[in-house]
A and B are shown apart, each in its own frame.
Chain A
Amino acid sequence: MIRITVDGEPVQGREGQTIAGVLVGAGRTAWRTAQTGGRGVFCGIGVCHDCLVSVNGVEGVRACRREAVDGDRVEREVRP
């Protein structure tokens, strides 16, 4: 079991899951703000860039490709 925070809220996942896996497993579908509203996972394999999040202060991380690590601080990105 691992714990990460998403915009400050704790979320639990299984060890080894991607950040997208943790979020989807926790019932979340949207974690980025795009021009038209929320977005989350779309392609699941790093192609579409819909799932971008900031992780521990680093912008532009594809949640579907990054393995979640206990304690990761995940933050929403808003498309300017």
Chain B
Amino acid sequence: MRVVVIGAGIMGAACALALAERGAEVVVVDRVGVAGETSSRCEGNLLVSDKAPGPEADLAIASNAMWRDLAERLDADRPAGQPATEFEAKGGIVVAFAGGEAALERFADAQRATGIRAEAMDAAALAIAEPFLSPEVARAIRYPDDAQVQPSNATQALLATALRHGARLVIAEVTGGLGRPGRLAGVRTTAGPIAADVVVDCAGPWSGEVAARLGARLDIRPRRGVILVTTPMPQRVFHKVYDSDYVGAVGSGDAALQTSTVVESTPGGTVLIGSSRERVGFDERTGVAPAAAMAAKAVRLFPFLEHTTLLRSYFGFRPYAPDHLPVIGPDPEVAGLVHATGHEGAGIGLAPATAELVAHAVLGTPTALDPRPFLPSRRGLRETA
């Protein structure tokens, strides 16, 4: 079985590895190369804490568990030049300011019912866990399963491992499909045609455009996010710390600027402050509004940040579907086309489980995951397409 995977972001790299390991002949096609886009313009949070009960939470819980083995496997016997995934299960702490306690507790209760570990922390425990946190924090809940990878490096490690399993990388742009209408038999690229039994669309925020080039309909849109990075400093943030207003923003479809604060330190000594959400197409002019809003909220969480220096900021475009669920599985109208996209702000976390579902769709390999909520044929997607 020959499979063309379009896109060498986290999704394409994870799918390429899963398919190659299960015996498929894989060709990955990307117009810039590995980890050149969204998967290098994001944070690497592998979160369960922000997921409201539902199919995405189930996928996140499964994927979070899969990352642990996967990261260990990728990091073991790493050849020279392959970066480490920097997997770290540091855990997350979600905090609420006065007035937000009840909502946070309700949310955590609902999560516990789905199997997410969410532990209430008392003031003393919080002071030990995060000594520099604002004393105004009124409630804190610890999510021990929240973890992270360095997303760009994890993508590079996934692809390098896939290549060692026989996959090939072609740096070219996919311009169209091969085959007849309704039946895809490969792709046309700027480096020539590539025949395939199945084509997997992992083109991130461009996957709608790629689908159209392949004769399919798929509504995937970009949602811009900005992240701030401080200069390196002695470590003063020890977990991922989120303001509980994060929970509100993830599922919201509002176009206007939203920010929700996530503060954490990185192995390089910097502090990352994320992130904003705006629906502005692929507009690269971020202006200063998102940065200013995030800075203000970050200082509210960690007052010491006021005096630290902003080193850089970057932005990316989250790929999202109108119903805010990932799109994974066979295209309902074009045979030979499988989608793996629309993961919005959780694509890094959801990559291993997505790859398993893609292998299931392409090769029929078994999975304990339920593919149905994510199928491209679902109503929530079709109605708006």
Contacts and interface: CB of A to CB of B under 8 A. Distances in A.
| Any A–B CB pair closer than 8 Å | yes
Contacts of B235: 80
B233 A80 contact: yes
Interface string A36-80: 000000000000010000000011100000000000000000111
Contacts of A58: 307
Nearest to A52: B231
A80 B270 CA distance: 9
Interface residues of B, number: 9
A59 B308 contact: yes
B138 to A, nearest CB: 29
A16 B231 CA distance: 28
B294 to A, nearest CB: 20
B269 A80 contact: yes
Interface string B209-246: 00000000000000000000001111100000000000
Given A79-B232, A80-B233, A80-B234, A60 B308 contact: yes
A49 B309 CA distance: 12
Interface residues on A, range: under 10
Given A79-B269, A80-B269, A60 B231 contact: yes
Contacts of B309: 59-60
Interface of A is mostly: strand
A20 to B, nearest CB: 18
A60 B234 CA distance: 12
A80 B307 contact: no
A23 B233 CA distance: 23
Nearest to A79: B232
A59 B307 contact: yes
Contacts of B234: 78, 80
A80 B309 CA distance: 16
A68 B308 CA distance: 21
Contacts of A79: 232, 269
Nearest to A80: B269
B268 to A, nearest CB: 9
A51 B18 CA distance: 48
Contacts of B233: 59-60, 80
A63 to B, nearest CB: 15
Interface string A2-30: 00000000000000000000000000000
Contacts of A49: 231
Contacts of A80: 232-235, 269
B228 to A, nearest CB: 15
Contacts of A60: 231, 233, 308-309
A59 B234 CA distance: 11
B28 to A, nearest CB: 35
Contacts of B269: 79-80
Nearest to A58: B307
A7 B307 CA distance: 21
Nearest to B231: A60
Nearest to B267: A80
Contacts of B307: 58-59
Nearest to B234: A80
Instruction: Give the most central of B231, B235, B269, B308: most A CB within 10 Å.
Output: B231
Nearest to A61: B309
A64 B232 CA distance: 19
18 contacts: A49-B231, A58-B307, A59-B233, A59-B307, A59-B308, A59-B309, A60-B231, A60-B233, A60-B308, A60-B309, A78-B234, A79-B232, A79-B269, A80-B232, A80-B233, A80-B234, A80-B235, A80-B269
Given A58-B307, A60-B308, 13 more contacts: A49-B231, A59-B307, A59-B308, A59-B309, A60-B231, A60-B233, A60-B309, A78-B234, A79-B232, A79-B269, A80-B233, A80-B235, A80-B269
Which 4 pairs, one residue from A and one from B, show the smallest C-beta to C-beta distance?
A80-B269, A60-B309, A80-B234, A60-B231
